[in-house]
Amino acid sequence: MTELAERVAGLLGAIDRHPLLGGTSWLPLDLEVGDTSPVIGSIVAPYPALWRRRSQIVIALEEARGNVARHAGDPAGGICFVHHETPDRRSLEFLFADAGRGLEIDGELPPYPWHMVGREYEFRQTVDGVVWCRIADSDVVEIGFRAHHPAWPARRFDDIPCGGMGLSIMSKVMDRVAYLTHIGPSNFLWMQIDVPEGARE
């Protein structure tokens, strides 16, 4: 199990033991966007340094919520997200649980074969760059975005395949994004955003 998988499992264990853990909030994903945005916005409220990015963070989390709701399979298991402040309070972590198949990369679904571990794959082309995935372990995929160089020819929207924009937005806004499978009975989209030191009220 990777360090990130252990971190997520530990976080879930802490939440199970203390459902009202400070800084933790579960929210059903069947709510309308207008119902979730104020809740998501309230997460950012104690962090003035993040206020200018509030709308970006809300959009990224709504994209994650929508992706999970569309691709998670049967939502009867209680699809939800949790936000949690890390002990040093210098970052916020978000978990979106789902019961889907996982990310298909290079024709493979998790658990990924050993020869894929440690390799980076292009997941989606976007108009301004590439969403990439690095398989950190058979059940852990790190996700990021690499912008096109300004000198490269501009890409037309017509040339871009559909899909992948949500992951593009998430990886641009958040500092770390990963997808983990087989953490107990669920899979998790995990995201982390850094909060500058001294930024909390």
The residues spanned by each domain of the chain are 3-194
Nearest to 40 by CA among 95, 83, 90: 83
Highest-scoring range by mean pLDDT, 16-20, 50-54, 136-140, 184-188: 136-140
Task: Taking residues 18-42, report their average pLDDT.
Answer: 55
- How far apart are the C-alpha atoms of 128 and 94, rounded to whole Å? 26
Higher pLDDT, 25 or 130: 130
Residue 125 in contact with residue 148, Cβ under 8 Å? no
Query: What amino acid occupies position 29?
Result: L
Which CATH fold would you assign to the domain 3-194? Heat Shock Protein 90 (3.30.565)
Backbone angles phi and psi of 167, in degrees to 5 = -65, -35
Predicted model pTM? 0.79
> 21-35, 135-149, 186-200: which has the highest mean pLDDT?
135-149
DSSP structural state of residue 46? T
The angle formed by the CA atoms of residues 159, 131 and 141, to the nearest 5 degrees, is 145
What confidence tens digit (pLDDT) does each residue in 88-143 have?
667 788 888 777 888 899 999 999 999 999 999 998 888 778 899 999 999 999 99
